Amino acid sequence: MSVSIPYALSAEITHRCPLHCAYCSNPVELAKREHELSTQEWIRVFTEASELGVVQLHLTGGEPLMRPDVDQLIRQARELGFFVNVITSGVGVTEKRMQQLVDAGVDSMQLSIQASEPGLADAIAGSRAHEFKQKTAALIREAGIPLHMNVVLHRQNIHLVEEIIEMCVSWGAIRLELANTQYYGWALLNRQHLLPTRAQLAAAEEAFFRAKARFDRQIELIWVLPDYYEDFPKPCMGGWGEISMTVTPDGTVLPCTAASSIHTLTFESVKERSLEWIWRESAAFNSFRGFDWMAEPCRSCEHRFRDFGGCRCQAYLLAGDARQADPVCQWSPHHELISDILSSLNQDHDEPSVTAPHRPVPSYSYRGRFKKNGGMTGDHI
């Protein structure tokens, strides 16, 4: 099988984070600090990635700035020729810290926010963070670094789409990704509190297009579709193991951050193998390359070249088999797993409060505060 050359590496340099978002994409089993790769180990990973053809490096986490060696990592990455993007919650960024990042050579920064109202934003993050973020946005701009922002949308903030866009424009962002929640890890655990109703979604889409017309020249706006409400699944990147990979804090190499949820695969670590071997030879990376692994209906479906059968993680988490069609697909034999959730949700929430669901914030399983025996029931297949 021909193996392509990867473009991007997401380095989750730590899972530590001052925030506790209930939709965090980190696995429910967070990597512990003592298992994190050392500075030298990360530099080796970056060097191998560069030789493999990776040109873009995303430093992410958790909160990457929790690692005191992040400047050193950025400097090394720049020497290797990477475009270095730092994805931050914005907490703990001082003027001095920002200057260190700039001196080290950071190319762009992506700041995550939770909402446009501080109270709600802090409730979602499980932490008082919103006011820091505004300061961080200003520091990034003053340093001349392009500011990208992102927000995860769900039932508690999706009515604020237009306000969120206004806020990001006023903070000076040049790009904003409005990502409807993807249900893996923490988000799947909290799905019943996060999934918006159909009416909320329709209102949000209208708000998005209104704002897009208003601000089109000032900010690039990206709308990540809520796949549960689509007829067909989102495409899996450019295909599994085709364009990018993720390295977790302890050195495990994944095709994407959500993939660790697929327990039927064994993911190799840079502590034992070279990155090149893992990318080219490992069973996990080769499992879903090409099209031969597919089951029907994907196997003979003409959409397979475009969507690759959808998300492998979602197929595993919902249908119990990563080779199946993504249950979001209306042709999937497991599609009821999605449609049943949606129909019961949309019956229960038959109320008109589309624009202002000022219900109290629900009892999330906050990331990192999850009680082992408390949350895994009911909603988690």
Partner 1 sequence: MIAWGQREQLRLRSPARLKFDKARQTDMLLLPERVVNLNPTAGAILWLCDGTRSAHQIIGELEAKYNQSNLQEDVLEFLTQAIERGWIEKCP
Which residues lie near partner 1 (CB under 8 A)?
A: 5, 7-8, 51-53, 55-56, 81, 83, 85, 107-108, 144-146, 148, 175
Tokens of 375: 């949350």
258 interface partner picked from partner 1, ligand SF4, none, CB below 5 to 8 A per type: ligand SF4
- Hey, how many other C-beta atoms are within 10 angstroms of the C-beta on 282? 17
42 closest CA partner among 60, 28, 25, 29? 60
Q: Which CB atom, from 150 or from 200, has the smaller least distance to partner 1?
A: 150
- DSSP class per residue in 308-336: TTS-HHHIIIIIS-TTSPPTTSTTSTTTH
Site for ligand SF4 in 258-277 (CB under 6 A): 258-259
307 binds ligand SF4 (CB under 6 A): yes
342 interface partner picked from ligand SF4, partner 1, none, CB below 5 to 8 A per type: none
Provide the b/e sequence for 303-340 (b: ≥16 CB within 10 Å): bbeebbbbbbbbbbbbbeebbbbbbbbeebebbebbee
Q: Which CB atom, from 81 or from 362, has the smaller least distance to partner 1?
A: 81
Are the CB atoms for 380 and 192 separated by under 8 Å? Answer: no
311 interface partner picked from ligand SF4, partner 1, none, CB below 5 to 8 A per type: ligand SF4
Smallest separation (angstroms) from partner 1 to the CB of 48: 11
3-state DSSP call for residue 103? helix
- Hey, how many other C-beta atoms are within 10 angstroms of the C-beta on 247? 25
- The three-point CA angle 205-317-187 to 5° equals 45
Burial class of residue 164 (count of CB atoms within 10 Å of its CB; 0-12, 13-18, 19+) = buried
Q: Which CB atom, from 31 or from 147, has the smaller least distance to partner 1?
A: 147
Smallest separation (angstroms) from partner 1 to the CB of 108: 4
310 interface partner picked from partner 1, ligand SF4, none, CB below 5 to 8 A per type: ligand SF4
Distance CA 99, CA 142 (A): 10
Give the list of residues 6+ apart from residue 70 with CB closer than 8 angstroms, or none.
13, 59, 64, 86, 101, 104
Q: Which residue of 168, 256, 275, 284 would you call a contact of ligand SF4, by CB under 6 A?
A: 256
126 closest CA partner among 253, 24, 232? 24
7 interface partner picked from ligand SF4, partner 1, none, CB below 5 to 8 A per type: partner 1
In this structure, the dihedral spanned by the alpha carbons of residues 35, 40, 46 and 49, taken in order and rounded to 10 degrees, is -80
- Hey, how many other C-beta atoms are within 10 angstroms of the C-beta on 93? 23
> Taking contact as CB under 6 A, which single stretch among the options 98-106, 122-130, 151-159, 309-317 is the one that binds ligand SF4?
309-317
119 interface partner picked from ligand SF4, partner 1, none, CB below 5 to 8 A per type: none
Q: Which residue of 175, 198, 280, 304 would you call a contact of ligand SF4, by CB under 6 A?
A: 304
17 binds ligand SF4 (CB under 6 A): no
> Taking contact as CB under 6 A, which single stretch among the options 152-160, 165-173, 302-310, 336-344 is the one that binds ligand SF4?
302-310
Q: Which CB atom, from 197 or from 287, has the smaller least distance to ligand SF4?
A: 287
Q: Which residues contact ligand SF4 (rule: CB under 6 A)?
A: 232-233, 236-237, 256, 258-259, 297-298, 301, 303-304, 307, 309-313, 325-326, 329, 331
